[in-house]
Amino acid sequence: MITLRKSEERGHFNHGWLNTYHTFSFSDYYDPRFVGFRNLRVINEDRVAPGEGLPTHPHRDMEIISYVLDGALAHNDSMGNGSVIRPGDVQRMSAGRGVRHSEYNANPGEPVHFLQIWITPAERGIEPGYEQKLFSPEDKLGKLKLVASPDGSDNSVTIHQDVRLYASLLEKGQEVELQLGQGRYGWVQVAQGAATLNGPTLNQGNGAAVEAGELVRIAGADEGRSEVLFFDPA
């Protein structure tokens, strides 16, 4: 069974400098039907205006993944990391027992469009950590590329939870599939473009929960290239 989360039904706040959509309950937005999906706690689609961003603020006991779709996102943290995240990069920050960081649009001339993803860790109070890796379009085109996993397999970033995150770029009609095992569930998020999920079409911003044991088929359904994320949490 597939449960659709429509893009237009997400939480939405436009603060001027930040235009944000919340797939799951977050901050001042609460929907009892969508508090999270198993260990997947947050998928926020954010657009930050040029020169704007979040000043230094704290996090703890959360695995945070930043996935940039357009533009450039500057990151600095209390672990001493400073970087710019661009399309193709996957950044993982393990907040653990506590970390402080800032995020700003690194481009003075255009907005940055990115997904911020939070996953609850398997263990609280771990040592904070940071990792960033680049995955080329060729890595993801016409395939489900593993970009985050609990063991860092296939050169993915390592997250401290039994969740696997795949990214895919699909031309119109290109299809990828994945067989979910018993006890394994799926969440599909259309980051850009449109895609079909076992038949029905999901447009940009749509998400969908997939029951355990399903055969998942995702196909590009946009005239341009579509970008899809697939989460496989236990």
Single-letter amino acid, residue 193: G
- What percentage of the chain carries pLDDT values higher than 70? 100
Q: Residue 77 pLDDT > 90, yes or no?
A: yes
Phi, psi of 49 (to 5 degrees): -65, 155
Q: How confident is the model over 153-171, as pLDDT tens digits?
A: 999 999 999 999 999 999 9
pLDDT, residue 66, reads 98
- What percentage of the chain carries pLDDT values higher than 90? 97
| Residue 184: pLDDT band with limits 50, 70, 90 | very high
Are 67 and 90 in contact, with CB atoms under 8 Å apart? yes
Q: How far apart are CA 88 and CA 85, in angstroms?
A: 8
pLDDT, residue 197, reads 98
Mean pLDDT score, 202-218: 96
pLDDT, residue 1, reads 84
Q: How far apart are CA 220 and CA 41, in angstroms?
A: 26
pLDDT, residue 124, reads 97
Mean pLDDT score, 89-102: 98
Phi, psi of 164 (to 5 degrees): -120, 135
Q: Could you name the CATH architecture of 2-233?
A: Sandwich (2.60)
| Residue 234: pLDDT band with limits 50, 70, 90 | confident
Q: Residue 8 pLDDT > 90, yes or no?
A: yes
Mean pLDDT (the chain) is: 97
Distance of CA 231 to the CA centre of its chain: 9
Q: Domain limits of the chain?
A: 2-233
Residue 29: HSE in the Cβ half-sphere, 13 Å Cα cutoff = 20
Mean pLDDT score, 54-75: 98
Mean pLDDT score, 130-142: 98
Are 221 and 185 in contact, with CB atoms under 8 Å apart? no
pLDDT, residue 196, reads 98
